């Protein structure tokens, strides 16, 4: 045997290597996965092989994360995606077909709504927006061909809460699939399956990964939809790279501790904002002043660090820019759920009547900085506004 071939063939793959047990799981990277025998390969060809047959067959780090999420959520099957939006899109595709009508909550993540209007519509799937605080009145929007309802509670810009159990009770009677984006609450503060939801979605990009360095998303299916979803995921040959799975799994380990801090700091900042004379409304589901606070109290186990407020005055772009650009700790950027506090400002546009229509919503993602420093930062920023 050639010397180079001999040296390299010894290094890897090793048939009888003794594994080292590290606390964190190894990062599996691979396209080809080796079979131990030709018989196993033939079984894979017949879809009878129990092991992992290829890189898109979900390598071990991915499976480990999916199992942890499935168990945290109390679902039947969880699958990981390369972003939250990919998770939303795939869930919608798995449970719709040409001729269907779907209902989409008007406060759902914008790109998800856009996918319904611009992509599903191309395949003759009609989409109707329903009010963000919809409950049993969802009945009014249901047609004979309605097959799916997409919810997000609370919405991640305006924080309206839907009456999830009232909606899922009606949907089950009519054999309609309910899909809930539960990113805000994480699996720790909301248990969608206990409320009758069929499909729970998380943007893992946010609190679960926690460091703003991962894009990932999950779909977890309950009993009623598990097999259909599992088969669809396999058909699409979707997978998530090992590093992202590793980081997502690592994030899960500290989620509860981080989330408690986000929650506590956000409540402190929100409480302080309520005392500020230039603020009109602090929009935070855990505050008694929130319109659906009673629903949050009934269905949720806690609150996270994302909330919003409105000013009494309709400030110009220049005035808002002076406030936002003067902040030191709150940085300007999309996404949320990381250690860095973030701020965004946007005018609300809705297809259905909204209590915030036309208003500028200032959204804060409260990070893990010292809370008193965050308050001081905003207090300094407000001096730019009169
Ligand atoms: C509520 C919600 N769901 C889904 C997504 C999409 O997640 P990702 O950024 O991982 O695609 C976002 C992103 O901001 C979001 O806010």
Each residue of 202-245: pLDDT tens digit? 999 999 999 999 999 999 999 999 999 999 999 999 999 999 99
Helix (H, G, I), strand (E, B) or coil at 334: coil
Q: How far is the CA of 182 from the centre of ligand 1 (A)?
A: 10
- Residue range 1-30, pLDDT digits in tens: 898 888 877 777 777 777 789 999 999 999
Q: State the pLDDT at residue 20.
A: 85
**Is residue 209 within 6 Å of ligand 1 at its C-beta?**
no
Q: How far is the CA of 51 from the centre of ligand 1 (A)?
A: 33
List own/partner pairs for 16-23 with CB under 8 A and 24 or more apart: none
Domain ranges in the chain?
A: 38-250, 255-382
Q: Alpha helix locations (H) across the chain?
A: 3-11, 38-45, 60-73, 84-94, 110-118, 164-173, 186-189, 226-236, 242-274, 293-299, 317-325, 371-382
Task: Supply 353's token pair.
Answer: 């009547």
Give the number of other CB atoms < 10 A from CB of residue 82: 18
Residues with Cβ within 8 Å of 120's Cβ and at least 6 positions away in sequence, in order, are 92, 93, 96, 102, 127
Q: State the pLDDT at residue 267.
A: 98
**Is residue 152 within 6 Å of ligand 1 at its C-beta?**
yes
CA distances, 12 to each of 26, 34, 50, 81 (Å)? 15, 12, 24, 29
Closest by CA position to 75, among listed 159, 195, 244: 195
Is pLDDT at 305 greater than 90 in this prediction?
yes
Q: Give the side-chain half-sphere CA count within 13 A for 206.
A: 27
Average pLDDT rounded to a whole number, residues 269-282: 98
Q: Are 290 and 341 in contact (CB under 8 A)?
A: no
Least confident of 2-11, 26-35, 366-375: 2-11
Is pLDDT at 153 greater than 80 in this prediction?
yes
**Is residue 304 within 6 Å of ligand 1 at its C-beta?**
no
Q: State the pLDDT at residue 5.
A: 83
Helix (H, G, I), strand (E, B) or coil at 332: strand
* Predicted confidence band of residue 265 (pLDDT cuts 50, 70, 90): very high
Residues with Cβ within 8 Å of 134's Cβ and at least 6 positions away in sequence, in order, are 105, 141, 162, 163, 167
Does domain 38-250 fall under CATH 3.40.640.10? My reply is yes
Q: State the pLDDT at residue 12.
A: 72
* Predicted confidence band of residue 286 (pLDDT cuts 50, 70, 90): very high
Average pLDDT rounded to a whole number, residues 61-87: 98
In whole angstroms, give the CA distance from residue 214 to residue 339. 13
Q: State the pLDDT at residue 142.
A: 98
Q: How far is the CA of 183 from the centre of ligand 1 (A)?
A: 8
**Is residue 203 within 6 Å of ligand 1 at its C-beta?**
yes
- Parallel, antiparallel or unpaired: strands 146-152 and 177-181: parallel
Ligand 1 atom 7 nearest Cα: 84
Q: Of the residues 88, 205, 305, 306, which should be mutated to test ligand 1's pocket, given the most ligand atoms within 8 Å of the CB?
A: 205
In whole angstroms, give the CA distance from residue 287 to residue 279. 15
Domain made up of 255-382: CATH architecture: Alpha-Beta Complex (3.90)
Q: State the pLDDT at residue 41.
A: 98
Q: State the pLDDT at residue 19.
A: 76
- Residue range 289-302, pLDDT digits in tens: 999 999 999 999 99
Is pLDDT at 309 greater than 80 in this prediction?
yes
In whole angstroms, give the CA distance from residue 201 to residue 302. 18
- Residue range 178-197, pLDDT digits in tens: 999 999 999 999 999 999 99
Q: Which residue has the tokens 């519509």?
A: 121
In whole angstroms, give the CA distance from residue 332 to residue 312. 22
Average pLDDT rounded to a whole number, residues 27-51: 96
Q: What percent of the chain has pLDDT over 90?
A: 93
Task: Supply 246's token pair.
Answer: 């590793």
Is pLDDT at 372 greater than 90 in this prediction?
yes
Q: Which residues pair with 347 in a beta bridge?
A: 360
């Amino acid at each position: 045997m050639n010397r180079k071939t001999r040296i390299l063939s010894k290094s890897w793959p090793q048939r009888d290597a003794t594994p080292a047990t590290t606390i964190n799981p190894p990062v599996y990277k691979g396209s080809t996965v080796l079979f131990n025998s030709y018989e196993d390969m033939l079984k894979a060809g017949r879809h009878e092989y129990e092991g992992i047959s290829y890189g898109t067959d979900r390598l071990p780090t991915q499976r480990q994360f999916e199992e942890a999420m499935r168990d945290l959520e109390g679902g039947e099957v969880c699958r990981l995606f390369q972003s939250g939006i990919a998770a939303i899109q795939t869930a919608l595709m798995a449970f719709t077909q040409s001729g269907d009508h779907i209902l989409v909550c008007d406060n759902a993540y914008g790109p998800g709504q856009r996918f319904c209007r611009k992509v599903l519509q191309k395949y003759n799937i009609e989409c109707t927006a329903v009010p963000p605080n919809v409950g049993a009145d969802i009945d009014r929007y249901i047609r004979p061909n309605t097959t799916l309802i997409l919810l997000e509670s609370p919405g991640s810009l305006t924080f309206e809460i839907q009456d999830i159990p009232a909606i899922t009770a009606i949907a089950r009677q009519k054999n309609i699939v309910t899909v809930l984006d539960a990113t805000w609450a994480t699996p720790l503060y909301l248990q969608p399956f206990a409320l009758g939801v069929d499909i729970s979605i998380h943007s893992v990009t946010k609190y679960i990964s926690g460091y703003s360095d991962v894009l990932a998303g999950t779909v977890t299916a309950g009993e009623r939809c598990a097999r259909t979803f599992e088969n669809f995921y396999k058909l699409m040959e979707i997978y998530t790279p090992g590093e992202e799975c590793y980081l997502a799994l690592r994030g899960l380990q500290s989620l509860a501790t981080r989330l408690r801090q986000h929650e506590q700091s956000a409540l402190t900042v929100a409480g302080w904002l309520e005392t500020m004379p230039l603020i009109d409304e602090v929009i935070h589901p855990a505050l008694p002043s929130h319109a659906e606070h009673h629903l949050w109290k009934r269905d949720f186990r806690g609150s996270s660090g994302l909330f919003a407020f409105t000013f009494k005055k309709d400030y110009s772009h220049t005035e808002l820019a002076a406030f936002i650009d003067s902040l030191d700790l709150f940085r300007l950027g999309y996404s949320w759920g990381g250690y860095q506090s973030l701020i965004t400002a946007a005018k609300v546009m809705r297809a259905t009547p909204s209590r915030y229509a036309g208003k500028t919503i200032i959204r804060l993602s409260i990070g893990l900085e010292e809370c008193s420093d965050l308050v001081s930062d905003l207090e300094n920023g407000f001096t730019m506004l009169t």
